Amino acid sequence: MRTSQAQLSENDGVCILLGLYQGARFLQEQLDSFAAQSWPHWSLIVSDDGSRDQGPAIVADFAAAHPDRQITCRSGPQQGFARNFLSLLRAVPPDLPYAALSDQDDVWFPDKIERALTQLAAVPPEVPAIYCARTLICNEDLTPIGPSPHFSRPPGFRNALVQSIGGGNTMVLNRAAIDLVALCAETVERANAVPVAHDWWLYQVISGCGGIILRDTQPVLSYRQHAHNQIGANLSARAQLSRLLAILSGRFRMWNDCNLDILSKFTSHMTSDAQQVLQQFTQARKGGLTKRLLSLRQSGVYRQGRLGNAALYVACVLKRI
């Protein structure tokens, strides 16, 4: 069991997985932030999902400028960003112990990889673990707006069922998590299913299958907000209200329909506790009001924050979970 940063070595290579689609405008700054990392042992796989801009050419130029790096640009499945990242996770070379997910328009802080590896190194290698962190929300020109929310309640499957708390752009997985996710992703792809969001799905898979979730309270990157974000930050009151309204509308129930269908395809890999929680949460979505509320309470599922948790129970009353 490794327990400290001093035990990290050049063998602890990180494969950066970048999903690309029409991302030329901000891509160079993101790539440059990879080159500026304090942890030098990284490689890069870019999955281009059908870009018609200069994004792939920018990646090619970056690779030519860094001939000492393994930098690959491959064609993505062109079935949305979630499927693109699932395909990337299955492409991690088997000899690399870590994989870091990346968006195309952020800027990583120089110690982002090193912070993640320092924490992941304390986890026994046979235990799946995923690191995630807060971000610094910025406007389009990277002027800081403020840090992403701090969540006080612990991460876990009971939270993961109803809320995503780790941005995919901050996530780093150890080898055990990569192998677990690749196995589950293969099952999902055979069923032609698509997760609502890859980061939410990763949180559910790792926590549900007995893995460890590490959430850093310090921001590790500048999260650029612009008109073309696939999923923006929820820092503003308006954004948070929008998410609460999604809980109370039919949209949250549709998300849960999708997530539960996908989770049902690999329950054999989940812990007995997670299987029980999944069953109780499923029962909270059908039947009479008293039965639904009792099942929801027995499941122990929760959202971060009192308002979000209250909205969860209101949604249960309205049969919107």
Q: What is the pTM of this model?
A: 0.92
In angstroms, the Cα distances linking 114 to 18, 64, 140, 170 are: 18, 25, 26, 12
Q: What would the pLDDT profile of 250-306 be if each residue is shown by its tens digit?
A: 889 999 999 999 999 999 999 999 999 999 999 999 999 999 999 999 999 999 989
Strand, coil or helix: 56: helix
Higher-pLDDT residue of 9 and 74 is 74
Strand, coil or helix: 224: strand
In angstroms, the Cα distances linking 205 to 12, 154, 248 are: 24, 16, 25
58 Cβ neighbours under 8 A, 6+ residues apart: 24, 27, 28, 31
Q: Give the HSE-up count for residue 119: Cα atoms under 13 Å, Cβ half-sphere.
A: 20
Tokens of 244: 């609460």
pLDDT confidence band for 76 (50 / 70 / 90): very high
Tokens of 39: 């942890």
Q: What would the pLDDT profile of 185-200 be if each residue is shown by its tens digit?
A: 999 889 999 999 999 9
**Is the Cβ–Cβ distance between 184 and 69 less than 8 Å?**
no
Phi, psi of 195 (to 5 degrees): -60, 155
What pLDDT, on a 0 to 100 scale, did the predictor assign at position 85? Answer: 96
Tokens of 284: 């909270």
pLDDT confidence band for 228 (50 / 70 / 90): low
Q: Which residue has the tokens 């020109």?
A: 141
Ordered domains of the chain (ranges, CATH)? 5-235 (3.90.550.10), 240-317 (no CATH)
Q: Measuring CA to CA, which residue among 208, 315, 218 is closest to residue 272?
A: 208
What pLDDT, on a 0 to 100 scale, did the predictor assign at position 6? Answer: 45
